[in-house]
Amino acid sequence: MSGAEDQARRVLIEAPADLLLDRLATELERTYGITGAELLQVDYRLSVLLPFTKGEPITAPGHPAWRCFDHQEPIVTEDGTGYFPVGMRGERRGVLRLHPVPADPAALHELAGVATAFGHELEAVTASTDIYRVARRSRRLTLAAEMQWELLPGRSRVRPSFSLAGQLEPAYAVRGDTFDWSDDGRRVCLVVINGMGEGVAASLLSSLATHALRNARRAGLALADQAALADQAIYAMHRGEQHLSALLMELDLASGVLTVVDAGSPRLMRLRDGEVSEQELDKQFPLGMFDGTDYRPQRFELRRDDRLFVVSDGVVDATGGDVRYGETALERFLRRTTPMPPLDAVRSLLGDLRAFVAGDLIDDAVVVCLDWTGPQG
């Protein structure tokens, strides 16, 4: 790391939460002669890059900013404008646009490192300020959607042994569908919830389930016991009048063994060697439907480079004309995602779904994509 890059990182660490971009821009002008710096954040729908300070939103797929975001590589245009991916551990936040950038490859490499450091600092300060959340909205979130997005652990994660991404739709008005995940280096725990109800009530129910599952997971309980604890919490609150479907998964990163508990769940699809198959699951009662349900786990062995998709009813049952997406288009499109990273696969699938229904989705939809790339070292 050069002295200039190291100094830029220190500036970011020391900057007030609301002045990250301002302080970084001043430092980049001093060290690299860069006179223009702008943060372009991807919106909740993954469909537009929104400038933090000024300028027009960027929607055109072929724009250099989108190419930078999609490929996660720096792009430099003929006029000397540079675009650098901003993110953290696979979580894509957006793009840092700089002008003019030096032609020296070493300097460009340093600026890419600065953009990564910027992503880490954005993640660190977001909990203490609203300005970055507000700037990445192309319109107002409903209250239910606000609750659901705040519940998420993140939208994507990349590690040597796995890649993971998920998305909620309709992004600005989602109600009950959600997902949660955690990894500890040995395993990935993932839950996808197909919510019940409307508005804030649906979000509250999903929030209760998510926190109950987190509490059980963090207590070291086995997967079936996690489902049982969440089931008890929801039943105790609603006495069976409200319940929700969930798919609980735990992937052992060394062996590829996948443990699953299907509590009336969304569908689990596997993409292997270009072929799509639906994983047959032992369907059990939704969480909170009855008192004291005894859940049973199933185990499957994945192969290196297997891809898993979890899709909720809002995807499968979406209709275009009189035809359901799950019957005519889902498997075809899943095959097309083979060369895409999980976040791009999820975003493309939901884009195809919106085109299929010719507009915004009426029902909630959640899509999660998980790649197991095999044991590492």
pLDDT tier for residue 289 given thresholds of 50, 70 and 90:
very high
Q: Are 84 and 110 in contact (CB under 8 A)?
A: no
Q: What percent of the chain has pLDDT over 90?
A: 91
Q: What is the pLDDT of residues 145-171, one digit of tens each?
A: 999 999 999 999 999 999 999 999 999
- Write down the H helix ranges in 199-341: 199-218, 223-238, 313-316, 325-328, 330-336
Question: How much is the pLDDT for 322?
Answer: 83
Question: How much is the pLDDT for 128?
Answer: 93
Burial string for 177-197 (b: 16+ CB within 10 Å, else e) reads bbbbbebeeebbbbbbbbbbb
pLDDT of residue 184 exceeding 70, the answer is yes
Q: 3-class SS at 34?
A: coil
Determine how many CB atoms are found less than 10 A away from the CB of residue 33. Answer: 11
Segment 119-145 shows an average pLDDT of 96
- Cα(75)–Cα(92) distance, rounded to whole angstroms? 16
Q: What is the pLDDT of residues 45-96, one digit of tens each?
A: 999 999 999 899 999 989 999 999 999 999 999 999 999 999 999 999 999 9
pLDDT of residue 271 exceeding 90, the answer is yes
Question: CA 336 → CA 318, 332, 343, distances in Å?
Answer: 19, 7, 14
Question: How much is the pLDDT for 251?
Answer: 98
pTM score over 0.85:
yes
Q: Give the start-end residues of each E strand in the chain.
A: 36-42, 49-51, 75-76, 82-88, 91-99, 156-159, 162-169, 178-183, 187-194, 245-252, 257-263, 267-272, 275-278, 298-301, 306-311, 319-320, 323-324, 365-372
pLDDT tier for residue 377 given thresholds of 50, 70 and 90:
low
- Cα(292)–Cα(333) distance, rounded to whole angstroms? 39
Average pLDDT of the chain, as a whole number: 95
Q: Are 138 and 43 in contact (CB under 8 A)?
A: yes
Segment 228-251 shows an average pLDDT of 96
Burial of residue 346 (CB within 10 Å: 0-12, 13-18, 19+) is buried
Assigned token pair, 170: 């309709």
pLDDT of residue 285 exceeding 70, the answer is yes
Segment 340-366 shows an average pLDDT of 91
Q: What percent of the chain has pLDDT over 70?
A: 99
Question: How much is the pLDDT for 1?
Answer: 60
> Which one is predicted more confidently, 359 or 146?
146
Q: Are 345 and 165 in contact (CB under 8 A)?
A: yes
- Cα(139)–Cα(129) distance, rounded to whole angstroms? 19
Residue-range domains of the chain with CATH: 3-136 (3.30.450.40), 143-372 (3.60.40.10)
Residues β-bridged to residue 249: 190, 260
